[in-house]
Amino acid sequence: MTDGSHAMNGQPRCRINGSDVVLAADEPLLFTLRNRLGLKAVRFGCGLEQCGACVVLIDGEARPSCSLPASALDGRTVVTPEAIGRDRVGAALLSAFELEQAGQCGYCLAGIVMSAFALLARETNPSRARIIEALDGHLCRCGAHTTILRAVERAAEMLGEPSA
Amino acid sequence: MTVTPLPKSLQDTPQLGSWISFASPGKVQVRTGKVELGQGILVALAQIVAEELEVALERVEILPADTLLSPNEGFTAGSQSVEVSGAALRLVAAQSRQALLRVAATRTGHRPEEISCHDGLLRVEGTDIGLDFWTLAPEVDWTQVVDVRTIGRDRRDYRLAGTSTRRGDVLQRLASGGFIHDMAFEGMRHARIVRQPFRLARLASIDRTGFSRRHPTVVIFQKGDFLAFVGADEYAVHAAHDEAEVFVEWTPDPGRKCAAKAPAEMRKEVRKDHAGHRATNSAIRARYSRGYIAHGSIGPSCALAHFVDGGLTVWSHSQGVFALRDQIAACLDLRPLRVRVIHVPGAGCYGHNGADDAALDAAIVACELKGTPVRVQWSRVDELSRGPLGAAMATEIEAALGSDGSVSAWKLSVVSAPQAQRPGTGGYANLSSAEALDPGHAPRHVEDVPELAGGGASRNATAIYDFPDHEVSVSLDTRSPIRTSSLRSLGAHLNVFAIECAMDELAGIAGIDPIALRLRHLKDKRCRAVLNEVAAMSGWRPDDAGGEGRGRGVGVSRYKNKGAWLAAVAEVTVDEAVRVERLWLCVDAGFLINPQGARAQIEGGALQSASWTLLESVPVADGRVPPLNWSNYPILRFSDVPEVETRFIVNENEPPLGAGEAAQGPVAAAIGNAVSHALGVRVRDLPLTRERLMQLLVSDER
């Protein structure tokens, strides 16, 4: 049965990092990204939408992928940490995270960068309070929060510079 | 001159060639038994090697710890990596350089001291002589023993060590794989372990028919009380595991006991000095406590294993691959040399967490599915509830004041659940599934970490202060049914909290500024220096009365009484809950190999300690740990993070000291003292949650 322009044979289709993908398996997006598409920067942290390690962009919004069913993704656009460097906001974030040596073990970082990306794509000069608000759904056990906040601020500065 | 003993690592693995290889052109390959636990240890070690050899950092490749190929350096723990392994690698690199230069001298007729090294190329009087490390390496006798008398380069000539060389490993992993969780093999099977819901629980029943009807692609593997769900599709196995309680029932077995042969308590006396009169009137007698604390790594434990050709290979994020290999072999009746354990980085590790347990889990299933690679992934609930926990403790302090307000007598006693029950400790596996396979694996006696190794429950139980009377004793509660082991800083977190809170209580009774009272009893110059500096940084005012929901507090210690010194001042506001607004930290960790790395370690430790101190306690009931996740075991969030200012007192002539655990105790103490300063009520039991403060304030008003 065909329903609208996207779903064929009940299988949802979406765009992931610029490619059209048919979501064949009835499973949360996280498992599809990691196991079927090899996008392993999307991390498993809790499976309960509590820690933010698996956050990706869905139509530009930062969302956990660990419980999001494939059926909810029909016609949507997904971006994972693997692809953010292609965009100037993402490139600035990656560069700022390296310059600030943000994070410690790095496990939580990929998800955090996605939330920071969603924020900086929308706001050019967010206050520290806004950055904290945007990252508050993410847990970091190494206590690297301060370096991460500094990195997001630095990325915002880099994007504000005329040459950027 | 004093004779420096050969670092332990080199006593165990004395041959130069076991540590370093120039076989790959342009590369310096280093074997170390130490592993990356998320703190950048391997970058610091690479820096030391690059410095001694005068090669670019990029040339140094630290190979993963591997029981087949690496020197055995025990566990990567206790802030010892830079101190011990760093010292060993410094000698190894320095001796390699000298050996290579001697070969060059023989070949060219120059004296070795005429030859200089430039990123592996050799020059005489500024001119290349057409030789490099890699062409000369085959002529060096790599079987030579590392000599402790080898003199390394002068630290003043260092270009890399002492600078904040950037870590590339974190960013590499940020936008790709690279953690153990990301490894995959062709034909791999995924396994989820259905863990015993409490210690030594017996598997009562499994509804196999119902299970296979609902999860047709998942098979059940059972051995004793070890139960695994296995399948080719990860989500199918994950989903089955999520609802395991529908199909599996457990029951307590009263015949099974932990530590049954041990006395209920094991006591050791750590210190007994009676220089003056024994105290008659105690100024304070106070008991401080903390509950069990979960490691809470953001990436739940993971392991892979593959049994092929009669041998088992296991990939693990363990802190000690050799001890793990031996225990896996013992549990599975394999010869140790038939088992190879290779380290792959996991998420941040702060002690003995579920990593080793997961490795045995994978090994058990791989031995069943011979020839098929197996991947085990723990759930969030199991990571928080079923791995070893940080020990619950209580520290009691009785102290007296002399007529001048100085402390005249001090008696401290600790009661703690066992610390440091690592794989192999006391001859026991100390692995969760070992007990599931055979309850006989449960340890029957426990011991504390020896004082020489920094102590466990007794870590920092001896105050750094000079008191005329000073007594310290430590007891282990050996009958705790909760699995406990090493969590960052071990007993130091609570002991320093207790000591530093007691000092504040005594200062209050004596009417003396808390920092002034500490300085009266401090002979240790470097300790005085960090304390004075943190007072200056924070603008400490002895006349600051605090109160009305705002307060400041101080805490200081020297980690293990032989490591890094750290003083902290915390500023808190207490409205409904405690909020740490600012933290000032002053640290003396000797010579800093990587200042930015050391700062990250200190600040990370400080924020983690703030999390334990403000929020964390595993709610144990009837000797059981309930299923935990991040909603019933909350940790510090971005919105809770204080402003942190850190200053190092650097002395390049002092040896480097590990920095990873120095902040846990002093930061807890500074927060505790600040909360009491803000409320005018002493809080002695951690964590300092809103509920705890409400109870205390209500009972105080009565």
**What residue has token string 């045995």?**
B360
**pLDDT for the residue A154:** 97
Set out the domains of chain A in order of their start, with CATH numbers: 13-80 (3.10.20.30), 87-160 (1.10.150.120)
Taking CB atoms and an 8 Å cutoff, what residues of chain B touch A103? Answer: 170, 174
C-alpha B570/C-alpha B644 separation (Å) is 9
Instruction: State the greatest distance between any 2 C-alpha atoms of chain B, in Å, as a whole number.
Output: 90
pLDDT at B263: 60
Lowest mean pLDDT among A141-145, B313-317, B423-427, B442-446: B442-446
Which has more pLDDT, B559 or B81? B559
Q: For residue B206, give the nearest of B245, B256, B253, B252 by alpha carbon.
A: B245
- pLDDT above 80: residue B529: yes
Cβ atoms of residues B75 and B423 within 8 Å: no
Contact B433, B386 (CB under 8 A): no
Q: Are B136 and B103 in contact (CB under 8 A)?
A: yes
* B636 lies within 8 A of chain A by CB: yes
**Residue A107 to residue B600, Cβ atoms within 8 A:** no
Give the per-residue pLDDT at B85. 84
Q: Give residue A7's pLDDT.
A: 47
Distance, in Å, from the CA atom of B661 to the CA atom of B104, rounded to the nearest integer, reads 44
Between A126-135, B44-53, B604-613, the lowest mean confidence (pLDDT) is in B44-53
Cα dihedral sign, B500-B506-B512-B516: negative
Cβ pair B174:A28 closer than 8 A = no
* Residue B292 token pair: 């069990």
A142 touches chain B (CB under 8 A): yes
The pLDDT, as a whole number, for residue B40 is 79
Contact A97 B174 (CB under 8 A): yes
B632 to chain A: closest CA residue: A50
User: Given an 8 Å threshold on Cβ–Cβ distance, is A105 in contact with B349?
Assistant: yes
The pLDDT score that the predictor gives to residue A164 is: 45
Nearest in space to B418 (alpha carbons), one of B577, B258, B297: B258
Structural domains present in chain B: 8-163 (3.30.365.10), 509-702 (3.30.365.10)
Closest by Cα among A110, A62, A114, A63 to A87: A114
- Cβ–Cβ under 8 Å, residues B603 and A143: yes
For residue B279, pLDDT beyond 60 = no
B284 has a pLDDT exceeding 90:
yes
| pLDDT reported for residue B254 | 81
Cβ contact A65:A28 at 8 Å: yes
Residue B382 binned pLDDT confidence (cut-offs 50, 70, 90): very high
Confidence of residue B418 (pLDDT cuts 50, 70, 90): very high
Higher-pLDDT residue of A116, A70: A116
For residue B675, count other CB atoms closer than 10 A to its CB.
Answer: 28
Taking CB atoms and an 8 Å limit, are B630 and A109 in contact across chains? Answer: no
Whether A1 shows a pLDDT value over 60: the answer reads no
Task: Return the pLDDT at B7.
Answer: 77
Q: For residue A113, list chain B residues with Cβ-Cβ distance below 8 A.
A: 174
Q: Is B91 a residue whose pLDDT tops 50?
A: yes
Give pLDDT, residue A9: 60
Q: What's the rounded Cα separation, in Å, for the pair A98 and A158?
A: 13
Q: What percent of chain B has pLDDT over 70?
A: 95
Question: CA–CA separation, B189 vs B369, rounded Å?
Answer: 9
Q: How confident is the model at residue B161 (pLDDT cuts 50, 70, 90)?
A: low
Question: At residue B128, does pLDDT exceed 80?
Answer: yes
Q: Which of B1, B64, B69, B59 is nearest to B28 (CA)?
A: B59
**CA B321 – CA B302 distance, rounded (Å):** 14
**pLDDT, position B258:** 61
pLDDT band at B406 (very low <50, low <70, confident <90, very high): very high
Q: Tell me: the pLDDT tens digits for B168-223?
A: 777 777 878 889 999 999 999 999 999 999 999 999 999 999 999 999 999 999 99
Q: Which of B174, B297, B638 sits opposite A106 (nearest CB)?
A: B174
Q: In B, residues 204-263, which contact A (CB 8 Å cutoff)?
A: 234-235, 238, 242
Report the pLDDT value the prediction gives residue B98, as an integer from 0 to 100. Answer: 95
Q: Which residue among A103, A140, A143 sits closest to B605, beta carbon to beta carbon?
A: A143
Q: Rounded distance, CA A124 to CA A152, Å?
A: 11
Q: Which of residues 53-82 of B touch A (CB under 8 A)?
A: none
Q: Which of B174, B604, B637 has its CB closest to that of A41?
A: B174
| Interchain CB contacts (distance < 8 Å): A and B | 168
What is the distance between the alpha carbons of residues B666 and B659, in angstroms, rounded to a whole number?
Answer: 13
DSSP string, B310-376: TEEEEEE--S-HHHHHHHHHHHTT--GGGEEEEE---S---BS-THHHHHHHHHHHHHHSTTS-EEE
Instruction: Fill in the amino acid letter for B113.
Output: E
Helix, strand, coil % in chain A, rounded to nearest 5: 40, 15, 45
What confidence score (pLDDT) does residue B117 get?
93
**Neighboring chain B residues of A116 at a CB cutoff of 8 Å:** none
| E strand or H helix at B503 | helix B492-510
User: Is the predicted pLDDT of residue B560 greater than 60, yes or no?
Assistant: yes
Q: What is the mean pLDDT of residues B534-553?
A: 94
Mutate to test the interface with A, among B37, B166, B167, B170 (most CBs of A within 10 A): B170
> Is A30's pLDDT higher than 90?
yes
Find tokens 């765009």 and name the residue: A15
Amino acid identity at B407: V
Starting from the edge strand earliest in sequence, which strands make up the sheet with A61-64, in order? A19-22, A13-16, A77-79, A55-58, A61-64
Please tell me if residue B587 touches chain A, with a CB cutoff of 8 Å: no
Q: Is A132 on the interface with B (CB under 8 A)?
A: yes
Nearest to A141 among B39, B234, B297 (CB): B297
Inter-residue contact B74 to B322 (CB < 8 Å): yes
pLDDT at B276 > cutoff 50: yes
For B125, residues 6+ apart whose C-beta sits below 8 A from its C-beta are B114
Among B201, B616, B628, which Cα is nearest to B382's?
B628
Nearest CB to B171 within list A97, A133, A147: A97
From the list B378, B374, B413, the residue with the least C-alpha distance to B397 is B413
Which amino acid, residue B12?
D
Contact B174 A103 (CB under 8 A): yes
B294, closest residue in chain A (CA to CA):
A141
Which range among A85-89, B226-230, B258-262, B317-321 shows the weakest confidence by mean pLDDT? Answer: B258-262
Average pLDDT over residues B472-499: 94
Provide ipTM, 2 decimals: 0.95
Beta bridge partner(s), residue B407: B401
pLDDT at A4 over 60: no
Q: Which of residues 331-370 of B touch A (CB under 8 A)?
A: 345-350
Tell which wins on pLDDT, B80 or B644: B644
Taking the model in full, what pTM does it have? 0.94
**Which residues does chain B have within 8 Å of residue A152's beta carbon, measured at their own beta carbons?**
none
B628, pLDDT greater than 80? yes
Cβ-based contacts of B238 with chain A (< 8 Å)? 31, 47
Note the pLDDT of residue B658.
83
H-run or E-run covering B170: helix B169-174
Distances (CA, A) of A157 to A151, B638, B639: 10, 20, 22
Q: Given CA atoms B657, B662, B666, B667 in this order, what sign does their dihedral have?
A: positive
Task: Give yes or no for residue A6 having a pLDDT over 60.
Answer: no
Residues 149-188 of B with CB under 8 A from A: 164, 166-167, 169-171, 173-177, 179, 181-182, 184
Q: Is the pLDDT of residue B304 over 70?
A: yes
> In terms of DSSP H, where are the helices of B426-491?
432-437
Mean pLDDT of chain B, nearest integer: 92
Q: What is the mean pLDDT of residues B423-438?
A: 94
Cβ-based neighbour number of residue A122 at 10 Å: 12
Residue B1 reports pLDDT greater than 50: no
Q: In chain B, which residues have their Cβ closer than 8 Å to the Cβ of A133?
A: 639
- B175–A82 C-beta distance less than 8 A: yes
Task: Please give the residue of chain B at the shortest CA–CA distance from A30.
Answer: B235
Which residue from B543, B551, B501, B545 is spatially nearest to B678, judged by alpha carbons?
A: B551
pLDDT, tens digit (0-9, with 9 covering 90-100), for B105-121: 999 999 999 999 999 99
Q: Which chain B residue lies closest to A96 (C-alpha atoms)?
A: B171
The average pLDDT across A25-29 equals: 92
**CB distance A31–B638 less than 8 Å?**
no
Query: Could you tell me which chain A residue has the CA closest to the CA of B596?
Result: A101
